Chains A and B, each alone.
Chain A
Amino acid sequence: MTRVISKQSGQTWFPVIGLEVHCQLRTRTKLFCGCANEFGAEPNTQVCPVCSGQPGALPVMNSRALELALRAAVALDCDVAPWSKFDRKNYFYCDLPKGYQISQFDRPYCTGGGIELASGKRIALTRIHLEDDAGKAIHDRGPDTLVDLNRAGIPLIESVTEPDLTNADEAFEYLTRLKEIFQYIGASDCDMEKGSLRCDVNISVRLEGEELRTKVELKNLNSFRNVKAAIDYEIQRQIEAWENPDETAHPVQETRLYDTNRGVTRTMRAKEDAHDYRYFPDPDLPELHVSAEQLERIRRELPELPAARRARYAEQFELSEYDASVLASEREVADYFELAVRGSGRAKETANWITNELLSARNERGPETKLEELGVSAEALAEMIELIAAGTLSKSAGRKVLAAMIETGKRAGVLVVELGLEQVQDTGQLEEWCRAALVGQDKAIADIRDGQQKAIGALIGQVMKASAGKADPAKAREILLRFVQEHG
């Protein structure tokens, strides 16, 4: 339970937060028609009579959307309803050509479930339901609002949490976990920039022992970081508002938009009508039934999820919590890691090369880049790690080889020879470099003799430099220590 001490009054407040997350399902077509579900097309080119709400057009459910929605439900440990139905949520807006959204009101396809945070705290889900997306209205291009209906009809799952969250960090972690899971199971890209994940926040604050106070809904949150910032801001705003002696300044039930530039939330103009969606069953869509066999198959086919992998990596490979977390958070990276470890048998080294070198190389190319695009297969990485383990290649030369592997696509064994980076094991040559490194280093030599072992590091560095990374640092260390003892 997070407590927030008011700066003005010293009172202790408790934030109460729930999240509603919309994720677009990664299908090829829309929820109820065959138009493409693809981001970035020319406006209004992926629209048909069904998704533009033409009279007489009839929706037919996409079986793949149901499959992905069920995967999400099973992965989040929800109770899938044996049958559910679709309802019409009626409202008028320019991006909603049918005049209603097809959603699920009183019989969502699943309820319950949840996500466990690293602290062990479980964030419970109230429900997940299936619905179709609205089109996109653009307000900042000229005097009119411009409407693109490509997005209208794209399948969404909306997951709603219980008000279990108590601070911005928990919200951030919940979203991160949710996104990982949906990406793992191939249900959604969860790319906020493309709008395939959108998050609304319900938030209120209360004093100890109190019932819930008035809640505010926050919208327009286009990154996890903004979700965090908006929650932190809103908690302070509501505490100040409640502590204002003027009751008219107290928080009211409303929707507020987060202003990214100013870092504040502000009232969205109140709607002319209170929300009254007049839900009723969609007569065009029959009930959906899900059998126990279908669920069992989906459960069987589900990949190992990130939380399970994280725990296994720490246990089986003795990786640090950090390494396990980085590797397990993306399925592609996790699969790659496991394949490479199978090849090299060296988990810790493999983890280091992936997290330190490959992931930074990938991130340099941009957020969209896949590990695969670097052109270094897991087997090729394993070969390189074996060359280092065998003493053929030093670690620093390994870095050069890996960079060249990314550049040329060649295997490590070939590059070691081409680049002349084979580690020098020849004692005569090593002694020569070590002798040179000691010239004029009387102070370092004295320090080492005094037992200051770290002084040796700089000398090894000299040797590595002189050898262009080809010296075996362990051997160089032995020789240097021997020379120091013999010296003078």
Chain B
Amino acid sequence: MTNENTPAVQKCAALARLQVEPEQVERLAEDFDRILDAFRGLTELDVSGVKPMTGALDLQDIVRADEPRPSLERERLLAPAPKVEDGFFAVPKTVDGDA
């Protein structure tokens, strides 16, 4: 039997670049059921007149002056990288560099 959330689980896994084994999908789909149920409960609340919440902190307009601060030393930045070349991070070739 296939859970109706199976495609959603597979899509989320793909977007998050997670490899999910077929036997895990079924269990995760059931988890999705419970999570989505909880959110469905929220949608039943009457929130008319309540200002949308944009964050958990009661803060606004936190800004800083445009003053330069030291950056990391390059050696330190690059140290954890699996591969480095000429001061660059070297990664497997991505063909379409549009980002």
Which of A's residues lie within 8 Å of B, judged by CB?
A: 27-29, 33-36, 42-49, 52, 60-66, 83, 85, 90-96, 107, 134, 137-139, 142-149, 219-220, 255, 257, 268-269, 271, 273, 276, 278, 281-283, 285-289
Cβ of B40 < 8 Å from any Cβ of A? no
Do the beta carbons of B54 and A85 come within 8 Å of each other? yes
Complex CA gap A234/B93 in Å reads: 29
Which of B's residues lie within 8 Å of A, judged by CB?
A: 11, 14-15, 17, 54-57, 59-72, 74, 77-78, 83, 85-99
Do the beta carbons of B99 and A144 come within 8 Å of each other? no
Do the beta carbons of A35 and B71 come within 8 Å of each other? yes
Do the beta carbons of B93 and A52 come within 8 Å of each other? no
Complex CA gap A43/B74 in Å reads: 9
Do the beta carbons of A43 and B86 come within 8 Å of each other? yes
Do the beta carbons of B98 and A34 come within 8 Å of each other? no
Do the beta carbons of B96 and A268 come within 8 Å of each other? yes
Instruction: Return the chain A residue nearest B98 by Cβ.
Output: A219
Do the beta carbons of A283 and B66 come within 8 Å of each other? no
Complex CA gap A278/B15 in Å reads: 9
Complex CA gap A155/B11 in Å reads: 32
Complex CA gap A462/B74 in Å reads: 68
Do the beta carbons of B77 and A28 come within 8 Å of each other? no
A-B contact pairs, 30 of them (CB 8 A): A27-B66, A29-B67, A34-B69, A34-B70, A36-B71, A44-B87, A48-B72, A60-B64, A61-B63, A63-B64, A64-B66, A65-B66, A66-B63, A83-B60, A85-B54, A92-B17, A139-B97, A145-B90, A145-B92, A146-B89, A148-B87, A268-B96, A273-B15, A283-B56, A286-B55, A286-B60, A286-B61, A287-B54, A287-B60, A289-B60
Please name all residues of chain B whose beta carbon is closer than 8 Å to the beta carbon of A95 when the two chains form the complex: 97, 99
Partner of B77, one of A47, A62, A220: A47
Complex CA gap A149/B89 in Å reads: 9
Closest 5 CB pairs of A and B: A34-B69, A64-B66, A146-B88, A63-B63, A144-B90
A87 CB → nearest B CB, Å: 9
Do the beta carbons of A61 and B62 come within 8 Å of each other? yes
Complex CA gap A49/B95 in Å reads: 28
Mostly, the B contact residues are loop
Instruction: Return the chain B residue nearest A281 by Cβ.
Output: B54
Do the beta carbons of A61 and B88 come within 8 Å of each other? no
Do the beta carbons of A60 and B67 come within 8 Å of each other? no
Do the beta carbons of B98 and A255 come within 8 Å of each other? yes
Interface centre among A46, A268, A286 (most CB of B within 10 A): A286
Please name all residues of chain A whose beta carbon is closer than 8 Å to the beta carbon of B65 when the two chains form the complex: 63-64
B58 CB → nearest A CB, Å: 9
Please name all residues of chain A whose beta carbon is closer than 8 Å to the beta carbon of B95 when the two chains form the complex: 139, 269
Please name all residues of chain A whose beta carbon is closer than 8 Å to the beta carbon of B87 when the two chains form the complex: 42-45, 148
Do the beta carbons of B98 and A139 come within 8 Å of each other? no
Do the beta carbons of B77 and A44 come within 8 Å of each other? yes
Please name all residues of chain A whose beta carbon is closer than 8 Å to the beta carbon of B66 when the two chains form the complex: 27-29, 62-65
Do the beta carbons of B68 and A142 come within 8 Å of each other? no
Contacts A43-B86, A276-B15; A93 near B61 (Cβ below 8 A): no
Do the beta carbons of B15 and A144 come within 8 Å of each other? no
Please name all residues of chain B whose beta carbon is closer than 8 Å to the beta carbon of A91 when the two chains form the complex: 99
Complex CA gap A66/B55 in Å reads: 20
Interface centre among A60, A66, A93 (most CB of B within 10 A): A93
Do the beta carbons of A139 and B62 come within 8 Å of each other? no
Do the beta carbons of B71 and A288 come within 8 Å of each other? no
Complex CA gap A28/B15 in Å reads: 35
Do the beta carbons of A142 and B64 come within 8 Å of each other? no
Please name all residues of chain B whose beta carbon is closer than 8 Å to the beta carbon of A138 when the two chains form the complex: 88
Complex CA gap A147/B89 in Å reads: 5
Complex CA gap A42/B88 in Å reads: 9
